[in-house]
Structure 1
Amino acid sequence: MRRAVAALHAELTRYGLVAWTAGNVSGRVRRPEASGDLVVIKPSGVSYDELTPESMVVCDLYGRVLDGGLAPSSDVAAHCHIYREMPQVGGVVHTHSPYASAWAARGEAIPCVLTAMADEFGGPIPVGPFALIGGDEIGRGVVATLRDSRSPAVLMRNHGVFSIGATPRDAVKAAVMCEDVARTVHIARQLGTPVPIAAEHIDQLYDRYQNVYGQR
């Protein structure tokens, strides 16, 4: 998991989702219930080109450092709250990708006007509440927004994107797709009013993509 999480940070820079040392990826290490799961997360304030498997920080589900010589991400409490409250989640990603963050700055959900959105998000990409950084308030907002949504991504108001997945790679994919559709829908709105997709068609597209598309 250290190797996987370290390597996935390169995807955030590859797709232009982060600037400087902002943003982070984490992954859940599942263990027997008596032992408790672990979280592997990016260290705080370390440049992306300096990240290695050894520099990743290992915490328990309450953010207490168990292994690693560096301090964990300032978002560790948010990540850990998501893992505690959403046991199906195996990976969490946070970015300040520009187009998606612009929607977050407006406090506006991204409407489902593209088949790619229906495929990946099953509807609009919702907006979560404003929350201060450092504690679990952000995590609480993410969980409250996504618990009853098919979307694996949320725009936290005035902040940026949090995405979740069954694996860290799935969460990274959701962050990449979130920025891609945020950009396209923004362009569409410069041309006029985007045409929404009917709810029944969204359901059909989502079911096909999630259950038929790709290799099985």
Structure 2
Amino acid sequence: MTAFSPETQVAIARVRDEVAALHAELVRSGLVVWTGGNVSGRVPGADLFVIKPSGVSYDDLDASSMILCTLDGEVVPNTPGSDRSPSSDTAAHAYVYREMPEVGGVVHTHSTYATAWAARAEAIPCVLTAMADEFGGEIPVGPFAIIGDDSIGRGIVDTLRGHRSRAVLMRNHGPFTIGRDARDAVKAAVMLEDVARTVHIARQLGDPLPIEPAAIDALFDRYQNVYGQPTSAGAAR
């Protein structure tokens, strides 16, 4: 067994539990089929992350089957799950973690509506207040990249760095989302599919009306900094 400090061991165990449980959220929200898709989570305080194994049924995933990797995408030997192959997207996740230290979670799905937009290489326009709240504008399109190395990760970083969106539509492939932790990235994936579906339906009825940039800014600021926060009176209670 690889030696880690007690604090790191606790952090690894916590992320293993969370990442394993969050894969069930992808299934519950209808974002994945068969064994496609994955969630990963950074281990706080360590240059490590946890990701799902490749080709394993979602019903068979648990904390012990999650795979611990370095930020170079290498499996940490002699740790639970290290006898399996990690997700084929591991190099992409690792690149995101290396290049974007603020990111604590990465999710990839092939959810139907978001992937349909990716197949068209078309950004989802910001025509819903929910989009302004969650993503701060349109959902951008990333470049086409072949799976297997860090090319997809490079496309994710190049597209999202400096962008308020926590989601990117990788062309001809599907959506990736990022978050402050794995749960936050899963939330972004769920919200992305919801707005992708709604905007698609709206376009069947006509041309959706864009939201003014100033209103998008105001909505994003409120949702990110005010929504769900206790009031001064509530904080005093």
Query: Shared fold by TM > 0.5?
Result: yes
Secondary structure of the residue aligned to 1:92 is strand
- What amino acid is aligned across from residue 40 of structure 2 in structure 1? S
2:88 matches 1:78: no
Paired with 1:14 and 1:157, the residues of 2 have a C-alpha distance of 25
| RMSD (Å) for aligned C-alpha atoms | 0.7
Paired with 1:215 and 1:74, the residues of 2 have a C-alpha distance of 38
2:19 matches 1:5: yes
Deviation at 1:91, TM superposition (A): 0.2
Q: Deviations over 1:2-52 (max 9, x none)?
A: 000000000100111001000000000022xxxx51010000000000000
Match of 2:228 in 1: 214
Match of 1:60 in 2: 70
Secondary structure of the residue aligned to 1:58 is strand
Match of 2:60 in 1: 50
2:115 matches 1:101: yes
Paired with 1:10 and 1:128, the residues of 2 have a C-alpha distance of 27
Aligned partner of 1:163 among 174, 177, 180: 177
- What amino acid is aligned across from residue 49 of structure 2 in structure 1? V
Paired with 1:15 and 1:90, the residues of 2 have a C-alpha distance of 21
Match of 1:89 in 2: 103
Aligned partner of 1:154 among 152, 160, 168: 168
Paired with 1:41 and 1:153, the residues of 2 have a C-alpha distance of 19
Q: Deviations over 1:97-123 (max 9, x none)?
A: 000000000000000000000000000
The TM-score normalised by the length of structure 2 is: 0.88
- What amino acid is aligned across from residue 135 of structure 1 in structure 2? D
- What amino acid is aligned across from residue 201 of structure 2 in structure 1? I
Task: Work out the number of aligned pairs and report it.
Answer: 212
Higher Rg? 2
Aligned partner of 2:146 among 129, 132, 142: 132
Structure 2 unpaired stretches of 5+: 1-14, 231-237
Match of 1:30 in 2: 44
Match of 2:205 in 1: 191
Secondary structure of the residue aligned to 1:65 is coil
Deviation at 1:71, TM superposition (A): 1.0
Q: Deviations over 1:34-92 (max 9, x none)?
A: xx510100000000000000000000001111122211100000000000000000000
Paired with 1:159 and 1:19, the residues of 2 have a C-alpha distance of 15
Q: Deviations over 1:146-183 (max 9, x none)?
A: 00210000000000010000010000000000000000
- What amino acid is aligned across from residue 35 of structure 2 in structure 1? T
Identity %: 73
- What amino acid is aligned across from residue 53 of structure 1 in structure 2? A
Paired with 2:125 and 2:150, the residues of 1 have a C-alpha distance of 28
Paired with 1:5 and 1:65, the residues of 2 have a C-alpha distance of 16
Deviation at 1:137, TM superposition (A): 0.0
Match of 1:40 in 2: 50
Paired with 1:47 and 1:214, the residues of 2 have a C-alpha distance of 36
Paired with 2:96 and 2:68, the residues of 1 have a C-alpha distance of 16
